[in-house]
Structure 1
């Protein structure tokens, strides 16, 4: 048996994450992937990027310190290879390239700024196909801070994928593109309209948190009815009460509501009554991409 360690760094609009995976290799067996550690730091780059079109010096320094700590953690864990990807916040920031150069110089970590298509293809390399049954269609929805990736699977095959400029941090600041909701609705209906059996596969920290709050087991999906009721319940509470009474983190208590709205809209337009939450996403796809390269 050989134990190898790989890491993924996901630099999103709401938070920055380090995921460390153990990969167990054994003769005549498929490699086994197991999460070893997950560290999440709430560096909200999206507010800089979407409001001011550039990353501030303050958040640049926070990002640099985060990457320096991640570099040390990877060294301690014995990580042999890592992949670091930045999504919409750095993609849209006017100084995105300067930021990744400064981070590389200070921490040694090389960051790749990826577009929506690349993001969707990395996500598709996860264990999604093991969850997908061939007698129904699925809409995979990955909600981020600045963008949301939608992928359609039908009869076990990937049919279409598209990234839209809508996300939790963008919505909190009222920065959605004009008409984006109509565009998403048209796209979903063009690929899933008329299909009887449609389910959603949800990804991202917010839907994972909602699933945990529901008390359901890992393989039990959320129902549209429960999610709708929870959305209205959360929306009726003050931000401070979501923190003090529900125990939500400060950087989760606000973004969880727009995230729920995106999932509910996707379910309504696709006709899905169930939202599966397998707890896999971009970082998991990065680990698989890195290993099989």
Structure 2
């Protein structure tokens, strides 16, 4: 079967929505990779780990393409990115290490819970009312640690967590989305390092062409396509309303969540 074509189409789709909504696209990529890796007879107890690791590596490229466009529109607060990044690295590395010690079933349950949470949040378009001033360096360090840890367990770029956090701290929505896209890069980088390091200890049981928990053929095609389409989505954020596209994305998330839930049961 031409797996590369499915990887390519998935990357193009995810890259577009990553740029549009300021997310890393992991909530789409992970279920797709779980299905594909299962069909390819990868080790059953490591499939979710490989899906998470490969997705994290893909988000590196998605976030670069997306943040570049948001930066061109002046929508990235680089001071926030600078102060939150140390916590992001600490939390993401810790989360990836924790994921490596979990069973595939437990990781899958955590992912399914989060995908339903994310879909519901987007469906209701929940935005916390601005209530607080942006915290100082210590506060951003702690926030980054929490965001990074949760993001690495479900392989997301952090947008679904950092956008509400920044909105709560009185950052305007478009600037919050742009800043979240930039924060996605250190999340993805630290998460990739963590999944590679933990996967290397299981290298004898993993498929050929794997680097730790990252399956390189999937990464190459996913990243190539997502880097082309992420800027398109990012530009659309600043030019049109996104209600219809957001609805399509939410429906897809619910469908993927239900499918994974059924497979777990």
> What is the TM-score normalised by the length of structure 1?
0.24
Q: Which has the higher strand share?
A: 1
Q: Which structure has the bigger radius of gyration?
A: 1
Structure number with the bigger relative contact order (C-alpha 8 A, sep ≥ 6) is 2
> What is the TM-score normalised by the length of structure 2?
0.26
